[in-house]
Each structure stands twice: as structure tokens, then as C-alpha cells.
Amino acid sequence: MGHAPLESKQAFDDAIATKGKYVLIYAYENEVDPKAEAASDQYEDRCAPFKVDVVKYPQAKNYFNLTSLPSVVIYKDGDIIKKIEGLDREKAQEIKATLES
């Protein structure tokens, strides 16, 4: 299934409004890392994964105040619970631990 694209403010608002699941927003430039796409499928029972290309939608980078990409922002029931910038192996484990809690 992979990450669903966020291509408007309305889509973003609708995603954040998701109840009962984590909402993971993957912010990237130009191309999603295949490992990130594969990882999103592992947690589809507890996570609604979305993606936003900040090249096409630069306002997303400003909205999340991102300084490094790719980044992940995780929400639960409308509240931001974690922002992880500049993904690497260690930070990917941090995302996994959050989604498994």
C-alpha cells in the first residue's frame, strides 16, 4: 500500500484528524526511499502513513519547521507526538519503537 500522498491543506487536515491510529507523515525531496515505503506496510494496522514532497509543496517544510530531510512527523488523535529529522538507521528504530508502543 505505501504512503498516501498529501497534496493539499485539506488532505493534510483530514489525515491529522484520523482517530485511533498513529498518523505518520514522511517529508522528502523528489523521491521516497524504498525502505520507507516497505516499512509503512509493516504498521498499516496501527498507522496511517502519508508522504509529502517538499519540492512540490515547500509550505510543508515550513509548516513542520524542518531543517533536514527526509523527516517523519508522527501524530496521534490530532496531536503531534514526535518529529524526527534526517532519517538514518538509528532514527528509523526510534520511529519503530514509537509505532510499537
Q: State pLDDT tens for residues 52-92.
A: 999 999 999 888 899 999 999 999 999 999 999 998 889 98
What pLDDT is recorded for position 71?
Answer: 95
User: In this predicted structure, what is the pLDDT of residue 1?
Assistant: 65
Beta bridge partners of 76: 22, 79
Residue 19 has pLDDT above 80, yes or no: yes
Give the domain extent around 46. Answer: 4-100
For the whole prediction, is pTM greater than 0.85?
A: yes
Provide the β-strand partners of residue 48.
23
Q: What is the mean pLDDT of residues 4-33?
A: 92
The Cα–Cα gap between 30 and 53 comes to: 6
The cell for 49 is 502513513
- CATH number at 20 reads 3.40.30.10
